[in-house]
Amino acid sequence: MITIRSASARGHANFGWLDSRHTFSFGNYYDPAHMGFGNLRVINEDNVAPGQGFPTHSHRDMEIISYVIDGALEHKDSIGNGSIIRPGDVQRMSAGSGISHSEYNAAQDSPVHFLQIWVLPEKQGIEPGYEQIYISPEEKQGKLRLVGSQDGRDGSVTIHQNINLYATQLTLGDQIDHKLEAHRLAWLQVVQGSLTLNGQALGQGDGAAIADGENLSIQGTSGNAEFLLFDMADA
């Protein structure tokens, strides 16, 4: 079973410096029909103005993944990490027993556009942690490239949950097939471009909830389509 979550149906918040679209309930946006999916709790598509950002704030018991689409995001946290996240980078921060961090647009002349993703961890109170990897466009072209997993295999970041996170880029006509095993869920999020999922058209910002052991066929319908696929245990 596939259920489409269209980009236009998402929650929206605009604070001037931040323009954010919420796939699931977040902040002042509340929709009891969209509180998350499986262990996936947040997918926010954020655009942050030049030189602006999120001042230091705290989190607990959440796996937080940042995926930059365009621009550069500067990260600093209370366990000593500081980095710039750019397109191709995948960042995982485990909030665990408690962590504080800030996120700012690293540029003074252009916005930063990124996805902020929250995954519920398998257990609470773990030691906070941080990890960042770079995945080249070639590694994602026409294939499901594992970028996050429970065991950190194949050079992916470690996510403390039974989940496999894939990133893929497709050109026009490229096709990817994926078997969703029984008792697992999947969420597909279109990062940019357009594609079809089992014949259903999806565009930038659209998402799809997938269940019941579907055989997935994903085909690019634009010159440069990119998506994330979350294959996860049924919560």
The tens digit of pLDDT for each residue in 158-169 reads: 999 999 999 999
DSSP-derived secondary structure for 36-51:
-BTTEEEEEEEEE-TT
DSSP-derived secondary structure for 161-181:
SSEEEEEEEE-TT-EEEEE--
Class of the 2-233 domain? mainly beta
- The pLDDT of residue 182 is 86
Q: Give strand pairing partners of 90.
A: 67, 133
- The pLDDT of residue 43 is 98
Rg (CA), the chain: 17
The residue extents of the domains of the chain are: 2-233
CA torsion sign, 161 to 37 to 231 to 222? negative
Residues 207, 227: Cα–Cα separation, whole Å: 9
Vertex 233: Cα angle to 231 and 183 (nearest 5): 100
- Per-residue pLDDT tens over the stretch 181-217: 988 999 999 999 999 999 999 999 999 999 987 899 9
Alpha carbons within 13 angstroms on the beta-carbon side of residue 199 total 1
Q: Which two tokens stand for residue 121?
A: 């961890």
Global model pTM greater than 0.75: yes
Residues 48, 181: Cα–Cα separation, whole Å: 38
- The pLDDT of residue 151 is 96
Burial class (CB in 10 A: 0-12, 13-18, 19+), 228: buried
Residues 59, 147: Cα–Cα separation, whole Å: 23
- Per-residue pLDDT tens over the stretch 28-47: 999 999 999 999 999 999 99
- The pLDDT of residue 114 is 98
- 197 in Cβ contact with 216 (< 8 Å): yes
Which helix H or strand E contains 71, and what residues bound it?
none
What is the rounded average pLDDT for all residues in the chain? 96
Nearest to 39 by CA among 219, 159, 169: 159
- The pLDDT of residue 212 is 82
